[in-house]
Amino acid sequence: MIELPELFERHMTLGKQAVKDGNLEEARSHFEDAYGLKDDMEANVSLVNVLVALKEYQEAYDILKEKKKVYLEETSYQGIYFQVLLHLKLFLDIEKLFVSYQGEDYETLKKDYTLVRDYQLLTNKEFYTELVTSLKSLEIGPVGRERVLLNKLNYLPKKEAVDVIKELLLREDVSIFIRSGLLQHLVQLELSEPVMILTIKGEKKEVIPKELPLMKELYQDNQVVSGLRAYFEQNNPSLIEEIEKMLKLYLGCLYPFSNDLMKPEEEWLNLYKLKYGNLNNADISKEVLWLQEKLDKEVSSLLSNG
């Protein structure tokens, strides 16, 4: 993106003036041009606000998602994020937002949400019943198809979504990567009750989502990841990006047990050094080789079907 500061500022100024004059379509055009010139948070928020005023909620959401992390973390942006989610009836996303919401209007927004949620569940009972049924009967299929279907989870309130997720976490015909993503929903909701999950080894394990770190946090703290990064920074920096991309997928399949399963760490480090041609020989246990073979199959399926 080529940034043109003077032109960017001109569009922002004209957009703000158009808002004051009540010319929302003109404001939209200017803010779109400004955001196209510069990847800027103010331009993003200005455009989202105008789109909401124009009742273009889906387009507002699409723009907002590009800066979702900031909207979630900044109190001043959480209100508009809530309004967009409420109009789109993305109830599960609202439940996640409330976990970290810091605005003084929390109780008011919670009341607004409850009214809309309960009204929708009452007047569209058949829709939500069919949605739950369709998600629970998720058929074996490509990971990409699973993702599309599971995006519909966001239209369910917390109680209904948790019920669906609990069932899918134990389904062998649901890919391990999708099961990991489902568990992360519960972590983001800070669910304090225990749930069972089917691991990559085919074992059923109990976890308490509220006590688990997010997937990205486990990746950041993983000793195998940090060890490989340090090794390849010194020996072959050109491979770092490729290796880290694969490791994120591997750890995603192992979530939330990656730190426990990737042991002994020295064997896993040597395995990847062998895999990427920077080591000629090393003793790797059958268990580590078996688990890596499972990971390669899962990731291969993910990449070919995702």
**What DSSP line would sit under 32-76, residue for residue?**
HHHHHH---HHHHHHHHHHHHHTT-HHHHHHHHHTTHHHHHH-HH
pLDDT of residue 110: 96
Most distant pair of Cα atoms in the chain: their distance: 73
Query: What is the average per-residue pLDDT within 285-295?
Result: 95
pLDDT of residue 145: 62
pLDDT of residue 6: 84
Least confident of 1-10, 13-22, 64-73: 1-10
Say if residue 3's pLDDT is above 70.
no
HSE, side-chain direction, 13 A CA sphere, residue 233: 6
Please tell me the distance from the alpha carbon of residue 126 to that of residue 121, in angstroms, as a whole number. Answer: 9
Least confident of 15-29, 33-47, 264-278: 264-278
Compute how many other C-beta atoms are within 10 angstroms of the C-beta atom of residue 239. Answer: 16
Q: What sign does the CA torsion over 160, 165, 168, 174 have?
A: positive
pLDDT of residue 73: 86
Say if residue 40's pLDDT is above 70.
yes
Say if residue 1's pLDDT is above 60.
no
Query: What is the average per-residue pLDDT within 61-86?
Result: 93
pLDDT of residue 4: 57
Give exposure, 193-222, as e/b (b: 16+ Cβ within 10 Å).
eebebbbbeeeeeebebeebeebeebbeeb
Query: pLDDT tens for residues 181-236?
Result: 999 999 999 999 999 999 999 999 999 999 999 999 999 999 999 999 999 999 88
Say if residue 2's pLDDT is above 70.
no
Query: What is the average per-residue pLDDT within 277-288?
Result: 86
Say if residue 128's pLDDT is above 80.
yes
By 3-state DSSP, what share of the chain in percent is helix, strand and coil, each rounded to 5?
75, 5, 25
pLDDT of residue 139: 60
Torsion of CA 149, 154, 160, 166, to 10 degrees: 60
pLDDT of residue 61: 96
The domains found in the chain, sorted by start residue, are 5-100 (1.25.40.10), 125-212 (no CATH), 216-305 (no CATH)
Rg of the Cα trace of the chain? Answer: 23
Say if residue 141's pLDDT is above 60.
no
Quick one: what percent of the chain has pLDDT higher than 90?
Answer: 77
Find all residues with CB under 8 Å of 11, minimum gap 6, and list them.
30, 31, 33, 34, 37
Say if residue 136's pLDDT is above 90.
no
pLDDT of residue 10: 93
pLDDT of residue 142: 57
How far is CA 272 from each of CA 201, 256, 302, rounded to the nearest angstrom?
20, 21, 20
Say if residue 150's pLDDT is above 80.
no
Using a CB cutoff of 8 Å and minimum separation of 24, what contacts does 135-144 make?
A: 135/164, 135/168, 136/164, 136/167, 136/168, 138/168, 138/171, 138/173, 138/174, 139/173, 140/173, 142/305, 142/306, 143/175, 143/177, 143/178, 143/301, 143/302, 143/305, 143/306, 144/305, 144/306
Say if residue 147's pLDDT is above 90.
no
Least confident of 5-19, 37-51, 130-144: 130-144
Tokens of 199: 């691991």
pLDDT of residue 279: 76
Question: H/E element holding 293?
Answer: helix 286-305
Please tell me the distance from the alpha carbon of residue 216 to that of residue 213, in angstroms, as a whole number. Answer: 8
Residue 80, judged by CB atoms within 10 A of its CB (0-12, 13-18, 19+), counts as: middle
Say if residue 175's pLDDT is above 90.
no
Query: What is the average per-residue pLDDT within 270-288?
Result: 87
Mean pLDDT of all residues belonging to the chain = 91
